[in-house]
Chains A and B, each alone.
Chain A
């Protein structure tokens, strides 16, 4: 059954946020993804992030494309409007929605197929346009809904379930975003909620385009021998990640990792993803250093997680550049939009 109503019984002792809302009130409908799917953990992190931010549900807008990841917008914050666009075209819907009402928080959920293949063109232009939104890629290297084809983030040499070996180099969303001038670039892991929640909160609060690439293993189609995302491969190439010391622009978000300590990336499904958290000396403001660092680590199949790059974004944010009215465009009364009959009469002189 694809539409299940969860029981809405909340225990009175459940903690509430500043709005008096429990975490349960930020949930959506029941997930229909495979048991153990990394995406469900991301959903949980988003729920936690929204609850922690005291987000009014109606202030959040959820957008997605097509694919397993894009389904997840139905699984959190049922009090928010959601828009499931066509495959790979969510960024344009988000851009238009944001143009119409700059006062809401826009969260786009996409996958590696939706963002890096069919939707690559729209993604890069949304980054370039610096649309104020959080864009979260749930990255697992495969097409799930169509049963296991390689995506554009699959590593060279990785083997598909049916035996094909990928020959094409992967597109890394983090390097892509860095090269395009994105002002907030992060990587997380679906199994590391403690790190992911503050990244999501910071991304929502960032005034500009925030990209988080979340490694989110596919338990059904990418968990076999020969895959660079399998249990075995992961264990053999496992590197503990370093600490991600993250402070969001607006408020301090505490991270669960004690400074300097290696984090065992105990993936519940044994995914092969190699994670690394950033060292204390790492400067997230230095774009080119970040690029070189990440690129070097990727050569060794190491995925660095944390807030990789952040810079002040306000000046290039879409509405700032457009000099848009501070009142959202969709709320400006018609009387202020129409020049009126007298102005038209005057204008016609130009055409005589």
Chain B
């Protein structure tokens, strides 16, 4: 079957997928390829589809070479490096027509040759490695490097760059450097000698990655917590948030240890469960430290009772929800945006919470800082709604920048001197008419003492069962949420509002939406786009919703949670909001967006019918 696009069209625009067995050390080989492409100046994404398992189950790594710098999953595979016999049949099926499949030809695999529309490339990888190296584990590891060598030759990677990278990785371990270099050479030379290198799908140097880094969202968020001045982190291990605390801890060990005394300016507490983790965060925040907890959906479920206390007693805290597939344990290593409603209204009683929606690791960094400022300014929990795709995959991002003039916004905290000047301090009296009241810290001045409680309290901080007194506080909290809408980041809007169709989305859908907009534009379909960055929704969100006749709400969950939140919390006419949903657990590609929008337009055939793109 002929390809509809010419070979030249595919330079710097294709997808390689590596099918491996987890626990075999394939990650370093795969990221070697990804990073080499990046260093050749070509935009790239790397997405890891891994099992909830340590060793033996199938795992995939997908590299998209994207000269247009699209951040989304491509939704197709051009080159499959099939290194897992268990998934061969599935992997073969997944290769796009006209694509390539590379497999280990040490053993015959006739089943692999059943597709006539792809090119199957056999390389005797195990044989080559076994002939050159000893030790079972060593051979497994080096076979990965050998296939990396094959791929490097096939897609025309710069061997000098790869050599440099190996030296960076193993520079201090000459034996490892030798064996890895040799394994890479085995694969590279074999491909050069026996295969037609390079393929039409190849990498050609560009200059589009300067000023960019490859980083995952959890690392960026952990770094953001360091720059925000967070000193206490409490957590319970849970995929996919664990690496956020790992990152925070390792940055703290680098930047927060006194060189002379060895004293540490941070505390990371591994709690007994998420209930305790959020409790520790509340205790520390209440006591004047910047404190946070990273978790995922099941952790948020457990934290609910404390989150209500934090809302009602007005204790600042920062929660990173690195969302994964639910409900229940769900698929812990797959991505989703299915905690939106859970977090927006976490806990019993009338509660509403501030949510931030980063779209990529870069925003994880900045929003981490922003979350602490907002939490302390508003004296309430703030959720950073990341997800597994953002949190654990390497994204190409603009360089992170830091303004040394930044100082934390600690909000309304009375100092010892201010307290001394006060006649009497009352915790919940709205003195400034913005519904945000003044708080005090323990250990400062006995005049600032008050009793923090989740039981009914009046504006003076005292226990109450009086309806009117109770309502004064509860009504102010509602007004405070309106204040919050003015403080949170505004949506990012593309278009002037003169198109009838609008797209509304959040977080990691952003890459897919941008790509869909480009595809639609080529089809002469113009749309506007609003990426919501925070809840509560502000004025700009309302305006965008009112300006568009048809609005597609793009999100990654089954129940259209963002759409639900929009109908509950804005004046939008519900019938205008049409959902485009992706909840497979894999990061969203642009296909369902393009198809979804075109399907509603008269005489517009589905895009998949034009390009042959699969709507898997």
- Does the CB pair B454–A86 fall under 8 Å? yes
- Does the CB pair B407–A82 fall under 8 Å? no
Q: Which of B213, B254, B258, B448 contacts A348 (CB 8 A)?
A: B213
- Does the CB pair A83–B283 fall under 8 Å? yes
B266 contacts partner chain A, Cβ-Cβ < 8 Å: yes
- Does the CB pair B443–A100 fall under 8 Å? no
- Does the CB pair B279–A89 fall under 8 Å? yes
Q: Which residue of B lies closest to A78 (CB)?
A: B449
Chain B contacts for A329, CB-based, 8 A:
231-232, 265-267, 284, 289
Given contacts A81-B452, A92-B282, 16 further A-B pairs with CB under 8 A are A29-B462, A81-B443, A84-B454, A85-B279, A85-B282, A89-B279, A92-B280, A95-B269, A96-B281, A97-B286, A99-B289, A100-B288, A324-B267, A329-B266, A330-B288, A348-B399
Alpha-carbon distance between A121 and B444 when the two chains are bound, in angstroms? 32
Interface residue range, chain A:
35 or more
Q: Mark A197-227, 1 if CB is under 8 A from B, else 0.
A: 0000000000000000000000000000000
Alpha-carbon distance between A242 and B211 when the two chains are bound, in angstroms? 76
Q: Which among A99, A324, A325 has the highest number of chain B CB atoms within 10 Å?
A: A99
- Does the CB pair B289–A325 fall under 8 Å? no
- Does the CB pair B227–A58 fall under 8 Å? no
Q: Which among B264, B266, B449 has the highest number of chain A CB atoms within 10 Å?
A: B449
Q: Given contacts A96-B232, A344-B402, are A104 and B442 in contact (CB under 8 A)?
A: yes
Alpha-carbon distance between A112 and B332 when the two chains are bound, in angstroms? 37
- Does the CB pair B402–A101 fall under 8 Å? no
Enumerate B365-393 residues with CB–CB distance to A below 8 Å.
Answer: none
A122 contacts partner chain B, Cβ-Cβ < 8 Å: yes
Chain B contacts for A326, CB-based, 8 A:
263
**Of the 9-residue stretches A186-194, A259-267, A270-278, A332-340, which lies at the interface with chain B?**
A332-340
Q: Given contacts A81-B450, A83-B452, A344-B401, are A96 and B287 in contact (CB under 8 A)?
A: yes
Q: How far is the CB of B172 from chain A (nearest CB, A)?
A: 15
A12 contacts partner chain B, Cβ-Cβ < 8 Å: no
Chain A contacts for B440, CB-based, 8 A:
81
Q: Which residue of A lies closest to B263 (CB)?
A: A325
Chain A contacts for B541, CB-based, 8 A:
none
Q: Which among B213, B453, B455 has the highest number of chain A CB atoms within 10 Å?
A: B453
- Does the CB pair B462–A3 fall under 8 Å? yes
Chain B contacts for A91, CB-based, 8 A:
276, 279
Chain A contacts for B263, CB-based, 8 A:
323-326
Q: How far is the CB of B431 from chain A (nearest CB, A)?
A: 20
Alpha-carbon distance between A34 and B223 when the two chains are bound, in angstroms? 53
**Chain B residues within 8 Å of A, Cβ to Cβ:** 38-39, 213-215, 223, 226-227, 229, 231-232, 234, 251, 254-256, 258, 262-267, 269, 271-273, 275-289, 291, 305-306, 309, 399-404, 406-408, 440-455, 462-465
Q: How far is the CB of A131 from chain B (nearest CB, A)?
A: 10
- Does the CB pair B306–A100 fall under 8 Å? no
- Does the CB pair A99–B258 fall under 8 Å? no
Alpha-carbon distance between A12 and B463 when the two chains are bound, in angstroms? 32
Chain A contacts for B452, CB-based, 8 A:
81-84
Q: How far is the CB of B302 from chain A (nearest CB, A)?
A: 11
Q: Which of A2, A101, A344 contacts B463 (CB 8 A)?
A: A2
Enumerate A52-90 residues with CB–CB distance to B below 8 Å.
Answer: 56-59, 61, 73-74, 78-86, 89
Q: Mark A334-352, 1 if CB is under 8 A from B, else 0.
A: 1011111101110110011
- Does the CB pair A2–B465 fall under 8 Å? yes
List 9 interface pairs A-B (beta carbons < 8 Å), by A numbering.
Answer: A3-B462, A74-B463, A83-B451, A85-B309, A92-B276, A99-B289, A99-B291, A330-B231, A344-B400
Enumerate A299-324 residues with CB–CB distance to B below 8 Å.
Answer: 319, 322-324
Q: Which of B213, B232, B262, B443 contacts A103 (CB 8 A)?
A: B443
- Does the CB pair A97–B287 fall under 8 Å? yes
Enumerate A116-162 residues with CB–CB distance to B below 8 Å.
Answer: 121-122, 125, 129
- Does the CB pair A84–B283 fall under 8 Å? no
Chain B contacts for A3, CB-based, 8 A:
462-464
A31 contacts partner chain B, Cβ-Cβ < 8 Å: no
Alpha-carbon distance between A103 and B441 when the two chains are bound, in angstroms? 13
Q: Given contacts A95-B276, A330-B289, are A351 and B214 in contact (CB under 8 A)?
A: yes
Q: How far is the CB of A111 from chain B (nearest CB, A)?
A: 16
- Does the CB pair B229–A325 fall under 8 Å? no
Alpha-carbon distance between A262 and B370 when the two chains are bound, in angstroms? 64
Q: How far is the CB of B596 from chain A (nearest CB, A)?
A: 35
Q: How far is the CB of A22 from chain B (nearest CB, A)?
A: 14
Counting from the closest, the 10 A-B pairs by CB-CB distance are A92-B279, A96-B283, A79-B446, A96-B280, A100-B289, A351-B213, A97-B283, A330-B288, A96-B284, A81-B442
Chain B contacts for A80, CB-based, 8 A:
442, 446, 449
Q: Which of A78, A97, A340 contacts B404 (CB 8 A)?
A: A340
A94 contacts partner chain B, Cβ-Cβ < 8 Å: yes
A230 contacts partner chain B, Cβ-Cβ < 8 Å: no
- Does the CB pair B227–A100 fall under 8 Å? no
Chain A contacts for B399, CB-based, 8 A:
345, 348
